[in-house]
Amino acid sequence: MIFKDVYFLGSDNAVHRGDIAVRDGVIVYTGERAPVGDYGEVIEGKPRLVLPGFVNAHCHVPMTLLRGYGEGLPLDRWLYERIFPFEAEMTEEDVYWGSLVGIAEMLTSGVTSFTDMYSFCGSVCRAVELSGIKANVSRGLLSLDGGALRDSQGFYETEQLFADWNGAADGRIIADASIHAEYTSHPEFVRELAGFARSRDAGIHIHLSETRKEHNECVERHNMTPTQYFEHCGVFESRVTAAHCVHVTGEDMALLARHKATAAHCPTSNLKLGSGIAPVPAMIKTGVAVALGTDGASSNNNLNMLEEIHLAALIHSGVAEDSAILPPGETLQLAARNGALSQGRENTGVIDAGYKADFAVLSLDSLHLQPLHDILTGAVYAAQSGDVEMTVVDGKILYRDNRVQTFDVREAVEKATAAAHRIARLLP
């Protein structure tokens, strides 16, 4: 395909105007005028902004089934009283349909890849394969009873995930390892999982210092912060995505930076659950890589990355009392390139020749964008998911003209809704 006379965000975080040409799923040209040639479909004729595809760096995609379930509770009660009992009733097929609904929702807001932690990972991967999106998928492991890693059902599912799905769908699926959190594990369990990840050269996905209570109780238990605990257990010897990082200390930030870990910032979820606001500007200043995530639809309550971009840009300006603390170009980098790197995907997240053709294409026609003095400011502060005209992965249009192109969204919604209502009827 070739996009003619569009605006696009370059690798310098500035907006340029010109052509973007794609062949075999890869960008082959960006500039004022593409060389003459047959690029297939020609897309032109209206004002558009082409952005690197957004990467949802922390998600639990099947939790669309729990959207709005367990409202008004702090994290610990929300998990143990509502979420864990509901999840205990979920089947492989429930996870599949819930995943498809979540993927469809993400495609409508320009998401081209996501990092997921859940159970029944084969079902998540089936949904990813069908849809055409990219994903890093991990089985969230817990050890509430103090058992050994290799005796756990979760570890068996992790091994199956790596055997069946790592590198599948032309590399769109990457298997990661995962420990749910410090407070749902014990040190030997974590050490064994860290060793498994090293043996597979795999990334690790964790929750980290999400609430003050979690952070302080870890210090009481281990005389270490959660970040220090995971370092002590060898977790940071692998590529790590650490979700939330709301209550990390200065020492924690330095440790994360030293190990080149990525903090997945989930502003909506953290605000909704009353967890706080992550110190993102301080982390960036310390050298921590920061990406953006939605968390699950049960604690957000949507998977709209444009909303996360907007909120991240606003709250840190407010907290710092500095409107320039997180400029629009940098915010978009958190949402795209930083997320791609957190997944170990070096070849995407940039609009430039040689990179994968993973795009979010925004129409600039909407009333709420008029008149448009600054395109980047419009994208960050005014754009809505309804402005996403196309979502493109590996040069294939997955979402266009308000319709997901690769599967029947209506069927997925019907099946997911039936599953959610069935499970809710089983619970008090």
The CATH code of the domain that includes 270 is 3.20.20.140
Residue 307 shares a structural domain with residue 391: no
Residue 247 shares a structural domain with residue 224: yes
Residue 349 lies in a domain: no
Span 420-427, average pLDDT? 96
Q: State which residues form the domain around 373.
A: 2-52+356-402
Query: Which tens digits make up the pLDDT trace of 296-312?
Result: 999 999 999 999 999 99
pLDDT (0 to 100) of residue 144: 81
pLDDT (0 to 100) of residue 146: 81
pLDDT (0 to 100) of residue 428: 86
Strand pairing report for 204-208 and 289-292: unpaired
Residue 206 shares a structural domain with residue 165: yes
What distance in Å separates the CA atoms of residue 101 and residue 128, rounded to the nearest whole number?
11
Span 31-40, average pLDDT? 92
pLDDT range class, residue 129, cuts 50, 70, 90: very high
Span 385-396, average pLDDT? 97
Q: How many domains does the chain have?
A: 2
Residue 11 shares a structural domain with residue 156: no
pTM of model > 0.85: yes
Contact (CB, 8 A) for 202 and 176: yes
How large a percentage of the chain has pLDDT more than 70? 100
Residue 24 lies in a domain: yes
pLDDT (0 to 100) of residue 147: 86
Residue 168 shares a structural domain with residue 245: yes
Query: Which tens digits make up the pLDDT trace of 73-86?
Result: 888 899 999 999 99
pLDDT range class, residue 28, cuts 50, 70, 90: very high
CA 364-134-47 angle, to 5 degrees, is: 10
pLDDT (0 to 100) of residue 4: 96
Query: Which tens digits make up the pLDDT trace of 138-152?
Result: 999 999 888 899 999
* Burial classification of residue 90, based on how many CB atoms lie within 10 Å of its CB (0-12 exposed, 13-18 middle, 19 or more buried): buried
Q: Which residues pair with 362 in a beta bridge?
A: 49, 388
Residue 238 lies in a domain: yes
Residue 38 shares a structural domain with residue 120: no
Q: Is 168's pLDDT higher than 80?
A: yes
Residue 263 shares a structural domain with residue 284: yes
Residue 10 shares a structural domain with residue 133: no
What distance in Å separates the CA atoms of residue 146 and residue 247, rounded to the nearest whole number?
26
Query: Which tens digits make up the pLDDT trace of 310-341?
Result: 999 999 999 999 999 999 999 999 999 999 99
Residue 47 shares a structural domain with residue 60: no
How large a percentage of the chain has pLDDT more than 90? 94
Residue 182 shares a structural domain with residue 327: yes
Residue 338 shares a structural domain with residue 377: no
Q: Is 45's pLDDT higher than 80?
A: no
Residue 270 shares a structural domain with residue 389: no
CATH at residue 13: 2.30.40.10
